[in-house]
Amino acid sequence: MPAATGHEVLAAVLQVRADELQVLLWQRGMDPDRGRWALPGGALGADEDVEESVRRQLAEKVDVRGVTHVEQLGVFSAPHRVPGVRLVATAFLGLVPSDVDPAVPPDTAWHPVDRLPATAFDHAEIVEDARERLRAKLSYTNLGFALAPREFTVSALRDLYVAALGHPVSATNLQRVLTRRGVLAATGETAAPGPAGGRPAAVFRFTERALRVTDASAVLRPPGVRDSAGE
């Protein structure tokens, strides 16, 4: 009696390329929406949950080792979001560090989230949700690790934040804030200066490459429990 309901997973995979936040899309070769650009994904398999499914489907488009972070965005379930069939989608956000350039099939390409091509179904809406989720989480988590190479300079990290957030970020502040949160650590090495000279930049690394929420957002925290201010 409940209508036969299919379930698909979709992934908005984001990466900063050429100082712009871009998303991985593939061009549909079949109707409906032939020629329009769609998010990677596909039908949920019988013996997998949605997390396993999205990783499996992504593996068909890119080298999954490049995708350092995957998290659930939400459910998109408008009755006619896909014409003809009843299809509920679980959308995901995926992040790729800026130093890798995974090989992709010929029908697949990166597009700046600011200038999307004609998109299929409700996928533009999903990309917008992914972008906002990224923006919010960059502020109060260490999610930057998923966009950055293993090692980087503060200015390189600053450029990533500028591209992802869409507004200027002070390098001074970025370093101080992240250091105080205890997620940044200097490696002791320095990078070679650019062609115009300049002081060699110190090389940093994220202390952990797993998502951690900053307690700074824990307003109204229990009494007596103060931040350790970076052990």
Partner DNA sequence: GGGTGTTTTCGCCTGTTGGTCGAAAACAGG
Partner DNA sequence: CCTGTTTTCGACCAACAGGCGAAAACACCC
Residues that bind DNA (CB under 7 A): 153-155, 170-173, 175-177, 180-181, 190, 193-202, 214, 216, 219-221, 223-224, 226-227, 229
Strands annotated E in 98-216:
108-112, 151-153, 184-190, 202-206
Binder of residue 18, out of its own copies, DNA, none (CB less than 5 to 8 A by kind): none
Task: Kindly state the helix (H) or strand (E) to which residue 129 belongs, with its residue range.
Answer: helix 123-140
- As a whole number of angstroms, the distance between CA 189 and CA 53 comes to 40
Of residues 196 through 225, those in contact with its own copies by CB under 8 A are: 214, 216-223
Q: Does 230 bind its own copies (CB under 8 A)?
A: no
Nearer residue to its own copies within complex by CB, 1 or 229:
1
Report the alpha-carbon distance of residue 218 to residue 214 in Å, rounded: 8
Residue 46 touching its own copies (CB under 8 A): yes
First to last CA, the chain: 58
Considering only residues 91 to 130 of the shown chain, the ones binding its own copies according to CB under 8 A are: none
Q: Which CB atom, from 60 or from 227, has the smaller least distance to DNA?
A: 227
180 binds its own copies (CB under 8 A): no
Question: Concatenated DSSP letters for 77-118?
Answer: --TTSSSSS-EEEEEEEEE--TT------TTEEEEETTS--S
CB atoms near residue 160 (< 10 Å): 24
88 vs 116 by CB, closer to its own copies:
88
The total of other beta-carbon atoms located within 10 Å of residue 174's CB is: 19
Q: Which does 172 bind (CB under 5 to 8 A by kind): DNA, its own copies, none?
A: DNA
Q: Which residues in the 48-67 window bind its own copies by CB under 8 A?
A: 48-51
* Binding residue for its own copies, selected from 59, 170, 193, 200, defined by CB under 8 A: 170
Q: At what angle do helices 123-140 and 154-165 cross, to 10 degrees?
A: 140
Which residues in this chain contact its own copies in the complex, by CB under 8 A? 1-7, 43-51, 72, 74-75, 77-79, 86, 88, 90, 136, 138-140, 161, 165, 167-170, 173-174, 177, 214, 216-223
